[in-house]
Amino acid sequence: MLRVSAFRLLGRRGASRVSLLEDFSFRYYSSGPLGVRDDTRDSRAYFTTPIFYVNAAPHIGHLYSALLADALCRHHRLRVPSDAATGFSTGTDEHGLKIQQAAAAAGLAPSELCDRVSAQFQQLFRKADISSTDFIRTTEARHRIAVQHFWGMLKSRGLLYKGLYEGWYCASDECFLPEAKVTRQPGPSGDLCPVSLESGHTVSWTKEENYIFRLSQFREPLQQWLRGDPQAITPEPFHHTVLQWLEEELPDLSVSRRSSHLHWGIPVPGDDSQTIYVWLDALVNYLTVIGYPDAEFKSWWPNTSHIIGKDILKFHAIYWPALLLGAGMSPPHRIYVHSHWTVCGQKMSKSLGNVVDPRTCLDRYTVDGFRYFLLRQGVPSWDCDYYDEKVVKLLDSELADALGGLLNRCTANKINPSGIYPAFCATCFPSEPGLVGPSGRAQAEDYALVSAVATLPKQVADHYDNFQIYKALEAVSSCVRQTNGFVQRHAPWKLNWESPVDAPWLGTVLHVALECLRVFGTLLQPVTPSLADRLLSRLGVSSTERSLGELHFLSRFYGHPSPFEGRRLGPETGVLFPRLDQSRSWLVKAHKT
């Protein structure tokens, strides 16, 4: 087998390969210092979730992948002008041996199984408020065209050859495994069966003549890409892992299967006896959605952020960029990687019967509640454990009590009978603590609050950039607590609107608290869209005033006019987030089982 680096190739091979790498370097290095692209300045940004296998119904891990992408994309939309185009794709991965076998086991035609389960994913995502702009199914005609074109590009660049492939194949993971990654475990009959060391899924020996992709030629370009852009794969430990993998040998990759063995897939162009490997098929979905092979796809690619789980890192961080380079394109801008959810300390699996149905959770905890829980508790760098009490505790304390309580305290008729955004009094709360005169009432902690909330949007944006949405929510939650402390400290319910001494300060306390709430509502939009909408509507914030560019926190404090001062609050619509009753029957049941 030929094993030369792409750079050596550059000098020796034909012109088409030279342009492949030139194209790569041009796009890559033109993206900014160290290749770090500022997506907020690019007019188009494209976010993707993995496409989901249709062998089984969706679970909370799948929803988590989609929510992370949704929150990133929604936050991006808050940052850029409203006319900037943002693409966001999700979908279902419908071909391959895994689906072919699952359909046979269920006594269904593969297409029936695909229609059924794909519809479940679509319904779930609609229900969960996933704001995708496209839902792709790999069984669609547009996708077959894209995959076959992509295949043609690799072929014409001399990157595919026919060879004998012999080795282990894991149908559950749809991947080839070297002997070192296979172990033996007792099977149902007690005999030792070969299984994947990583996933524990059964593997089988395969010996076939297939088309093979010259993956080995891409080791150096991949290393160069990753070394030049330290954030390409975020969080950093995953970036490091991929660089370590690239230290090892990178064998060529079999990219087709015999059609007699795998018929449920896209045929190799010009050779019906072979079906295209499902991962090549699946990865190209990211291009299909943006119109590939029509030229319009170039306005989206490579300003792309893939959101993926850690189990599919190798496919996205090695195979996919190599295939892209092979087809004359750049690697994606970002690959954001997350870890997994376990349930009560165990891996979720059908056989253990502990799969958590996200639809039930959305019903129980509300859409916003469950979105908040998964994104607040999910830490991309390590696995997280799910159990019901945790959800109840978090939502009761952060959404119902802290945030809902704060809104109620500042807008309730008893405390704010006029129902307006009260005026801010600059002599009560001067812009610098040293200027507090006889009518001033602000204390050092109040200045600390203003400064914390003023810097919150930037902090939150930085956390989004680092794929630490949980930290963004932690920061918001901490400011909510601080604001509650502020209200508690000044006890506006003890102040009197009728008193000329109290009234300006009472108005100021409410004004500051409402301004803080406006910031929280704006920043929570990507995670809890409906709740944030209710909160902002209650504050009287119009739809054109909800972007980060329009935020202008507490402008009166900084000596500027405030468009909110004196504005009528929105209509009262009841509790912002209802407390989850701990005694609910389903919760008791969950304890017992």
- Choose the binding region for ligand MSP from 1-9, 22-30, 49-57, 501-509 (rule: CB under 6 A): 49-57
- Choose the binding region for ligand MSP from 58-66, 81-89, 121-129, 184-192 (rule: CB under 6 A): 58-66
**By C-beta, is 314 or 340 nearer to ligand MSP?**
340
Which residues between 129 and 168 bind ligand MSP (CB under 6 A)? none
Please pick, from the candidates 61, 267, 358, 369, the single residue that binds ligand MSP as defined by CB under 6 A.
61
Please pick, from the candidates 9, 39, 50, 407, the single residue that binds ligand MSP as defined by CB under 6 A.
50
Is residue 192 within 8 Å of 177, Cβ to Cβ?
no
Spatial distance between the Cα atoms of 206 and 86, rounded to a whole number of angstroms: 43
Q: Contact between 62 and ligand MSP (CB under 6 A)? A: yes
Strands 384-386 and 192-196, bridge-based pairing: unpaired
Spatial distance between the Cα atoms of 380 and 236, rounded to a whole number of angstroms: 11
Coil, strand or helix at 205: strand
- Going by C-alpha positions, the residue among 21, 24, 51, 462 that lies closest to residue 234 is 462
Q: Contact between 51 and ligand MSP (CB under 6 A)? A: yes
CB of 380 to ligand MSP, least distance (A): 10
Strand runs labelled E in 379-472:
384-386
CB of 50 to ligand MSP, least distance (A): 4
- Choose the binding region for ligand MSP from 12-20, 48-56, 287-295, 418-426 (rule: CB under 6 A): 48-56
Beta bridge partners of 194: 184
Question: By rule CB under 6 A, what count of residues binds ligand MSP?
Answer: 19
CB of 65 to ligand MSP, least distance (A): 4
**By C-beta, is 336 or 421 nearer to ligand MSP?**
336
Q: Contact between 373 and ligand MSP (CB under 6 A)? A: no
The string of DSSP codes covering 227-240 is HH-TTSEESHHHHH
Query: Among all chains, which residue has been given the structure tokens 């094993």?
Result: 3
**By C-beta, is 66 or 80 nearer to ligand MSP?**
66
CB of 121 to ligand MSP, least distance (A): 9
Q: Contact between 472 and ligand MSP (CB under 6 A)? A: no
Spatial distance between the Cα atoms of 246 and 250, rounded to a whole number of angstroms: 7
Spatial distance between the Cα atoms of 316 and 548, rounded to a whole number of angstroms: 32
Spatial distance between the Cα atoms of 72 and 76, rounded to a whole number of angstroms: 6
Which residues between 532 and 571 bind ligand MSP (CB under 6 A)? none
Q: Contact between 341 and ligand MSP (CB under 6 A)? A: yes
Query: Among all chains, which residue has been given the structure tokens 């936050």?
Result: 75
CB of 482 to ligand MSP, least distance (A): 32
CB of 321 to ligand MSP, least distance (A): 13
Residue nearest to ligand MSP (CB): 309
Alpha helices in 466-528 (DSSP H): 469-490, 502-524
Phi, psi of 428 (to 5 degrees): -70, -35
Spatial distance between the Cα atoms of 477 and 524, rounded to a whole number of angstroms: 10
**By C-beta, is 153 or 313 nearer to ligand MSP?**
313
Q: Contact between 255 and ligand MSP (CB under 6 A)? A: no
Pattern 270-289, binding to ligand MSP, x per CB under 6 A?
Answer: ------------xx-x----
Q: Contact between 358 and ligand MSP (CB under 6 A)? A: no
Q: Contact between 53 and ligand MSP (CB under 6 A)? A: yes
Which residues between 285 and 324 bind ligand MSP (CB under 6 A)? 285, 308-309, 311-312
CB of 506 to ligand MSP, least distance (A): 48
- Going by C-alpha positions, the residue among 449, 427, 475, 471 that lies closest to residue 553 is 449
Spatial distance between the Cα atoms of 70 and 50, rounded to a whole number of angstroms: 12
Spatial distance between the Cα atoms of 523 and 519, rounded to a whole number of angstroms: 6
Coil, strand or helix at 177: strand
Supply 507's token pair: 């108005």
**By C-beta, is 348 or 554 nearer to ligand MSP?**
348
Is residue 198 within 8 Å of 181, Cβ to Cβ?
yes
Rule CB under 6 A: which residues touch ligand MSP? 50-53, 61-62, 64-65, 93, 282-283, 285, 308-309, 311-312, 340-341, 348
